[in-house]
Structure 1
Amino acid sequence: MQRRTFSKGVFVAALALTTSASALMAADKNYVIGFSQVTTVEPWRVQFNKDLRAEAALHENVELLMADANDRTEKQVADVENFIRQEVDAILISPKESAGLTGVVEQATDAGIPVFVLDRNVDTDKYVQWVGGDNELIGRAAGKFALEKLGGMGAAKGTIVEIWGGLGTQAAHDRANGFHEAFENEAGVSFLLDQQSGDWKQDQAYDIMSTALRNYEDITMVYGHNDPMAYGAYLAAKDAGRADDIMFIGVDALPGEGVTWVANGELAATFLYPTPGAEGLRQALAYLGGAEVEKSVVMGTEAVTADNADDILKRNGLK
């Protein structure tokens, strides 16, 4: 698993080097680039925007227009339509859901505007490039970790509460599918809930976990599709006096959230889901400069546990 992740990291780094020359070719032209973000409420999205703005600041010839869809598909469609009317040079979009944003992505492409899809994908191939993390890879890494903690292959025992992200997002399904692969032949492990969506939000996960705690006396582990939901479940268990008996696993690994919660012993692990904003902008500039770019750029992951959480916090100036 580590070898696979490493190779993907090398691929991204190499691709960044090959596209840098084309980005330089585009440096003598001015570009207006529109970015449609699904929401700015989730901390991962806040970091996503921060990384994108930091990259844009490195390019004096780039004007970055950012639109917040306020977690509503219809608003995001309208935002992208507005970018089309403005005839921007390229559009970056991080969709709320796949199906709902497919049409407007195709509309932009048909208008001759190159589209770069970041994070969640859409149900069409009419875009230049997709950039994001491998959610199935992340799910498998989390599943492998969970399996080992529950006793290992063929001997694992326990009950798991899984708290999904949005049921309409491919990311949630991929994180679930990857995680479940580890337990396909583990008769001693059972999942207690049936696709309960916390919509990526801490408060909704708290409510789901509170109900689960009332309904089940034995809960061994919680797998949240992101760190805020895993932490919301932890808080619910803590309020019920049961947090010490349950292991919590999340995804995202933002230093100020998931990594900190692991360092504090509140989460057992989190798995890095890198933000694609900076890479997406670099790829767009390379394309505008005349380079051929890959149809997809897959970013790697990293397991954050008690063994390395403190070091990551120190590297980020948080300890």
Structure 2
Amino acid sequence: MKRRDFIKVSMLAAGAPLALYLPQGFAPARAQAKWKIGFSQVTTIEPWRVQFNKDIEAEAKKHPEVELIVTDGEDKTEKQVADVENLIRQEINALLISPKESAGLTGVVEQAIDAKIPVIVLDRNVETDRYAQFIGGDNVVIGRAAGEHAVKLLGGAGAAKGKLVEIWGGLGTQASHDRHNGFHEFTDKEKGIENLLDQQSADWKQAAAYDVMATALRNHEKIDMVYGHNDPMAYGAYLAAKDVGREKEIKFLGVDALPNEGVTWVHNGELAATFLYPTPGAEGLRQAIKLLNGEKIEKKIVLPTLTVTKENADQIMKDNGLL
């Protein structure tokens, strides 16, 4: 079974089933040669983003009627804004964007819409509802799954105890806030769970998470669990604990569940669990093509999650040719 089969899309529309917001004056019309679709990616450094790009590029190869233009924001809001402005000047037929920051990319998204370019937002949202569609995992749901599992590992509902380190992805990203809020819906009910840090961000990076965890280990003699908002940060925290001989006393939870990364770390016993956050790239391109062909699309598509533990990690790895 290939990765695409592993993260089969479950289309769960939110809100009005066929509600559609298009730029005023937009009318689908076949380009002379190909549809020109721009994709503004925030960065190509993070492994999940690398897989994201692979998925959308693989889907584009199935559609000879599409010319896909991919840009790399280099993890900088100003660079991503400039990328989108350049795509607008190229007169693309549709824009796919995965923003670095919700607020920072809202203005240029509205510029595209004002230029009669429909926009599909992927993964992280923007602060306007004028886009045609949003596609992504539900980070609140993922956070809830992680929080429920954390409580289970720390003794169960009503009896859970432990000292918790949470490492945020980015304080300016809605995904990080949603993963935090969903998680704390469960952990905050447990009087025995103590949160040791206050909004410590590692910007989704493994090396930065190592540093956050190294400081936490120096400051706290006892840590029972780490919740990283993605797998690289959870793994960075694990490495920091391993370097001082404390990794066996701590349970590490992450998010993403790439087979060759988070799932592998669960298989190795380095993470206790990870929670699937599927990439929306392939589905985003399919939806853009539908839109350009004049079909109605849902305002929101939510991709499913999955809890990965020792019980199912091996099978996932086998299905992806890693065992």
Same fold (TM over 0.5): yes
Give 1:217 shift. 0.5
Q: Who is 1:255 aligned against?
A: 259
SS at match of 1:182: helix
Tell me what 1:22 maps to: none
Native 8 Å contact 2:262 2:274 kept in 1: yes
Residues 26, 285 of structure 1: 8 Å contact kept: no
Which amino acid is the alignment partner of residue 88 of structure 1?
I
Alignment partner for residue 155 of structure 1, among 159, 164, 169?
A: 159
Equivalent in the alignment of 1:242: 246
Name the structure 1 match of 2:23: none
**Structure 1 residues 224 and 106: alpha-carbon distance in aligned structure 2, compared to 1, 3 A threshold:** same
Amino acid at match of 2:108: V
1:11 positional shift: 3.1
Alignment counterpart, residue 281 of structure 1, candidates 265, 282, 285: 285
Residues in 2 aligned to 1:258 and 1:185: alpha-carbon distance in whole angstroms: 28
2:227: which partner in 1? Answer: 223
Partner residue in 2 for 1:4: none
Whether 1:92 and 2:105 are equivalent positions in the alignment is: no
Structure-1 separation of matches of 2:237 and 2:219? 14
Q: Is the CA contact 1:56–1:281 (under 8 Å) kept in the aligned structure 2?
A: yes
The offset of 1:126, in angstroms, is: 1.5
CA distance in 1, matches of 2:274, 2:119: 31
Residue correspondence of structure 1 range 1-319 to structure 2 within 5 A: 10-11=10-11, 30-319=34-323
Q: Would the aligned equivalents of 1:28 and 1:61 in 2 still touch at CA under 8 Å?
A: no
Q: Which runs of 5+ in 2 are unaligned?
A: 1-7, 19-28
The answer for unaligned runs of 5 or more in structure 1 is: 1-7, 19-24
Q: Say if 1:118 and 1:132, in contact at 8 Å, map to a contact too.
A: yes
- Cα distance in 2, alignment partners of residues 267 and 26 from structure 1: 49
Code of the aligned partner of 2:198: D
Size of the aligned set, in residue pairs, is 302
User: Per-residue CA shift, 1:162-216, capped at 9, x if unaligned?
Assistant: 0000100000000000000002221111110000000000000000000000000
Identity of aligned residues (%): 70
CA contact 1:139–1:175 (8 Å) conserved in 2: yes
| More helix by percentage | 1
Looking at structure 2, the residues matched to 304 and 270 of structure 1 have their Cα atoms a distance apart, in angstroms, of 5
Deviations 1:209-262 (A, max 9, x none): 000000001100000000000000000000010000000000000011000000
> Deviations along 1:50-89, whole A, 9 cap, x unmatched?
0000000000111000100100000100000011111100
- Supply the distance in 2 between the matched residues of 1:304 and 1:213 (Cα, whole angstroms): 26
Structure 2: distance between partners of 1:12 and 1:63: 28
Give the whole-Å Cα distance in 2 for the aligned partners of 1:259 and 1:27. 42
| SS of equivalent to 1:39 | coil
